[in-house]
Each structure stands twice: as C-alpha cells, then as structure tokens.
Amino acid sequence: MKYLITIVGPTAIGKTALSIALAKHFNCEIISCDSRQFFKEMTIGTAVPNQEELRSATHHFIQNKSIFENYTVGDYEKEALLKLEELFQTNDFAILIGGSGLYVDAILKGFDEFPEIDPSVRAEVNSNYEKLGINYLQEQLQLLDPEYFQKINLENPQTLQNPQRMMRFVEVCIGTQKPYSSFLNQKKNNRNFTPVLIGLEAERQVIYNRINQRVDIMMNEGLLEEAKTLYPNKALNALQTVGYRELFSYFDGEFTLPFAVDEIKKNTRRFSKRQLTWFKRNENTKWFDYVTDRKNIINYIENLIK
C-alpha cells in the first residue's frame, strides 16, 4: 500500500515545518502544490521554503517554472502524478503540501475533462472582456450557469475577479451550450495511493496575527524590491497574486506604501478564510491545532495505516 500524506490548512499556519518533520520520520520526499511557489521569479512573496528547509528534505515543484510559461492545474496534475509514480517505486510514503485547494483536489481526485472549445469562441469572449471588463464575464456566467456563479460567490469570491478563470468558464458555457458545472465531478479517477489527510488550524485571531507578522517579515526581507523587478510584467496571470498586486498599485501611485502593506495583510487574511472553507469540506481530514506535538500527529498517521 502506498500513502500520500497530505497537509492542508491556511497560509502561515506551519505546514512547511510539519511537512519536513514528517518527511524525515517517514524518510520520504515532498511534493508542493502551492500554485505560486512553482514560479522561480517569485520567492519572498510566495513564502518559498528557505535553503535550510529545502536541504532538510527533498522537495519537488518548487520554483520549477517561469511566470512566462502557461502552466495550468491540468499540467500540474499530469506532472505531479508522474513524479508520485516514480517516488512510490522505491517508497511507500510521500508528502503533499500546500494551500491551493484546487491543486490538492487535482492530485487526490483528478481534474475534470472538458470538450475542445472553438478558438473563435475564445477570441470573441476575450474581445468582449477587453471592451466591457470583468462585469461582462460575471454577468455571462450568472446568466449561463447561475448555480456555479452562486457557488463561487459563496466559497471563493476572489475567483469572480480573476479574468483568466472567468473567461474559461464563459467560453465553455458558450462553446458547448451547456453549463460549465455540468462537466465537473463526472470522471472518477483511480489513484494508486491512499491519501492520509492532515489539517492544521488555529483560532482565527491567531491565524490573523501570524499572517500580519509574516507580511512584516516579507517586507523586511525585500518584498518591495522583488515586486519592483516583477512590475514590468504585472499583467501576467502568475502575478495576479496577493502580496504583489497591492505593491503594483503602490508603484502605479494608487496606494501609499503603508496602505499597500495593510491591504496585503487584509487580503491574505481573506484568502486564509477561503482556504479553510475549501479544506473543511473534506470530511476525511483530521484536524490538529497548529501547536500539537508532532509525535501525536505521527502516532495518528501510524495508527491509521496499520
């Protein structure tokens, strides 16, 4: 039996430290599924594990892509499953860690398949977006797939502001004449491993305090300078990310620097709330307080797999 120990939870909760402790105990390697840590140009703002952490255990999918590459969750699913297949040839365990719920689900459950969309439909949706803005995409999705629109609005409202994701939803609705949601959860993917789901949580105020502290540390470590080097490419999808977007607004003269930093903290807190909402949907996750002794977590895992 092969086991994929999967660590989830909100940002800044301590997932990296736990993943390294578990990788050492089970003598195995770590697969990252943090969708922003894939990009080599982004280090400070994505809280990439430091050099000491990276040396402590073998990590995969950390800074392995460029922001200039078009890298989708479907691409990640294929590459990560191939890597897991390779790792499981010599080990019964691997660790999956990250706060990107969609990417975790892609590995554990599989990514939904969609029909090919006529390029002319994509071009028309893109053209309308450029002329009419994000409101056009939101109105179209609400019209063509009202149930899915409501689901996003409740569970992950930031997605409604993401033009790439929204264009995809709308082009599928128009190109297939069916709701986008009708293609979701149709395919049952077989996996050659058993997931062991571990969640880290804390009182909301503790999470918020840790986030605020982490943002201050990032600013001290040079996040402003990192964002300045990325600013010329601010339109790229990879850079539509909390921590960079707010500083781009500062460079544009829209925000003062203190206000931009406060916005990073506020938007990261909102993001952490959405992460918890997403991960709490899975009833198979065993939740631990973030300060739980790691021996207790290891004991839980070992008892589960006996």
Residue numbers belonging to the annotated binding site for substrate = 11-16
User: How far, in Å, CA of 200 to CA of 211, rounded?
Assistant: 15
In this structure, the chain runs to a length of 306
Name the nearest CA neighbour of 230 among 16, 10, 34, 36. Answer: 36
Q: How far is CA 84 from CA 6, 26, 145, in A?
A: 13, 15, 35
Task: Mention every residue, 6+ apart, whose C-beta is less than 8 A from residue 46.
Answer: 34, 36, 37, 39, 241, 243
Q: Residue positions in the annotated binding site for ATP?
A: 9-16
Q: How far is CA 208 from CA 12, 48, 224, in A?
A: 9, 20, 21
| DSSP β-bridge partners for residue 203 | none
Binding-site residues sit at 9-16
Which residue type is seen at 241?
T
Contact, 57 vs 19, CB < 8 A?
Answer: yes
In whole angstroms, give the CA distance from residue 125 to residue 130: 9
The DSSP annotation for 163-205 comes to HHHHHHHHHHHHHHTS-GGGGTT------SSEEEEEEEE--HH
Torsion of CA 190, 102, 66, 264, to 10 degrees: -160
